[in-house]
Amino acid sequence: MEKATFAGGCFWCMVKPFDQFEGIEKVVSGYSGGHVENPTYEQVKTGTTGHLEVVEITFDPAVFSYEKLLDIYWQQIDPTDNEGQFQDRGEQYKPAIFVHNERQRQIAEQSRADLDASGRYKKPVNTEILDAAPFYTAEDYHQDYYKTNAEHYAEDRAQSGRDEFLEEVWQAEKAK
């Protein structure tokens, strides 16, 4: 098993896209990249701990490749916006890829370069690729939020503007 760690704004919206494939063992909401040990949601949401909201994905690379994870990741975010994602603004919501080894770094860098060269976005793809940092699991009520609080999740997602943006950017891809 390997781990992949992605930041893409509110972690509630980052679980479901990955949580449905054979070869993905689990998707956990949490925090990474900051300077406070064992941060709480209340601390992270202030933007003062340096942490990003992330999902940590445990996967079997023989069944589901890191490249496929990246393909899904790019289709969940605005990779040109390093000041947050959609309605969630601030350092703690910026997109980033935390790599766990040199192979992941090389794949992520190539994937980012390919996406930037694709011309899909009017602005440069500037999502950071960072070394994996300590991961702290978020509080229980954040885990599998799309399942445990389906109504609130749907309302929050609808208000965020995420789906409209993603539909516009990726609609040609979905038509294929």
Q: What is the pLDDT of residue 173?
A: 59
For 5, residues 6+ apart whose C-beta sits below 8 A from its C-beta are 32, 54, 55, 56, 57, 97, 98, 100, 132, 135
Q: What is the pLDDT of residue 172?
A: 57
Angle at 103 between CA 75 and CA 91, to 5 degrees: 50
SS (H, E, C) the chain: CEEEEEECCCCHHHHCCCCCCCCEEEEEEEEECCCCCCCCHHHHCCCCCCCEEEEEEEECCCCCCHHHHHHHHHCCCCCCCCCEECCEECHHHCCEEEECCHHHHHHHHHHHHHHHHCCCCCCCCCCEEEECCCEEECCHHHCCHHHHCHHHHHHHHHHHCHHHHHHHHHHHHHHC
In percent, the amount of the chain with pLDDT more than 90 equals 95
Does residue 129 have a pLDDT over 70?
Answer: yes
Cα–Cα distance list, 16 to 35, 87, 92, 105 (Å):
28, 19, 20, 24
Residue 176 or residue 141, greater confidence: 141
What would the two tokens of residue 68 be? 């496929």
Q: What is the pLDDT of residue 171?
A: 82
Q: What is the pLDDT of residue 175?
A: 47
d(CA 24, CA 29) in angstroms, rounded, equals: 14
Q: Confirm if 15 and 144 have CB atoms less than 8 A apart.
A: yes
pLDDT-derived band at 110, boundaries 50, 70, 90: very high
Record the pTM. Answer: 0.95
Q: What are phi and psi of 166, to 5 degrees?
A: -65, -40
Candidates 4, 10, 70, 125; catalytic one: 10
Does the active-site annotation cover 10? yes
